[in-house]
Amino acid sequence: MAEVSVKCPTCGMELKAPNEEELGKTFKAHTHEVHSMEMSEEEATQKVKMMRSGM
């Protein structure tokens, strides 16, 4: 199965998911749980896409 990943811009932790949509959810959960940041799922997915295109 193909896998996508991004590094958290705040702590550098690598987050992985089967696709970009899931990765958005993973990123949202990570920033909420670890960094107490609030963002919508749409915003999280946008950031994931931006980070991935920047790599």
* Shortest reach from residue 35's CB to Zn ion, in Å: 6
Least separation in angstroms between CB 18 and Zn ion: 20
Interface residues toward Zn ion, by CB under 5 A: 8, 10-11, 13, 34
Q: 1 or 33, CB closer to Zn ion?
A: 33
Q: Which is nearer to Zn ion, 11 or 50 (CB)?
A: 11
36-45: Cβ within 8 A, 24+ apart: 37/10, 45/20, 45/21
Q: At what angle do helices 20-35 and 41-53 cross, to 10 degrees?
A: 110
